A and B are shown apart, each in its own frame.
Chain A
């Protein structure tokens, strides 16, 4: 699959579990993002990585822990989640300008991971 690939597509986890979401892109982009999409809510920005450095944490609870080992891979580590964390988690990537702003180029999105916390 080309573009931005997210795995797994679906995940059901208990509140005491630890799991990780993976995002991978081979588009030559160097900015990557996690968004949360809940029913009846707009897409919520969670984290931004620019050249592997986290440049934004949008007041996300510590039970979500991102990791960006290189410009092509992004992880979201999950532990002790709550049922209200059930949502579609979207990864996106874009070109990053050296000044740290990325928005001029638009995003490429993955298909998302549908997470259900039971």
Chain B
């Protein structure tokens, strides 16, 4: 069955340090993968999706089919990156997204 695993509940880094938020998945076939972000007191919003190969706010994510991973990376963290990050992929029917438990990123100066 399809599954999204975000092994870290909390990731704390200092401003300017590199960031890697981990996401592993289980899926039959070639999935589309997404990262969503929720800043404090804001709604959940799309950060990036692998099919567009974008870099949003300095974040990138590469799909590694061999390791079934879609880790989110940023070379230099900023305080405004502090938020909750969710990895997501479609359910097997392709009708909706399923989400990981989320990782809280805390960036301090």
Contact = CB atoms under 8 A, between A and B. Distances in A.
Contacts of B100: 42
A112 B96 CA distance: 18
A51 interface: no
Q: How large is the interface on B (under 10, 10 to 19, 20 to 34, 35 or more residues)?
A: 20 to 34
A91 B23 CA distance: 24
Nearest to B45: A109
B37 to A, nearest CB: 11
B99 interface: yes
A33 B96 contact: yes
Interface residues of A, number: 24
Given A41-B101, A101-B90, A106 B46 contact: yes
Contacts of A108: 45-46
A45 interface: yes
Nearest to B93: A56
Given A102-B96, A104-B51, A45 B101 contact: no
A94 to B, nearest CB: 9
A56 B99 contact: no
Interface string B62-101: 0000000000000000000000001000110111111111
A113 to B, nearest CB: 12
A50 to B, nearest CB: 7
Contacts of B57: none
A56 to B, nearest CB: 5
B32 interface: yes
A42 B95 contact: no
Interface in B26-64: 32, 34, 36, 43-46, 49, 51
Closest A-B pairs by Cβ, 9 of them = A101-B94, A103-B90, A43-B99, A109-B44, A106-B46, A42-B101, A111-B43, A48-B96, A109-B43
Given A101-B90, A107-B97, 4 more contacts: A4-B43, A45-B91, A102-B95, A112-B43
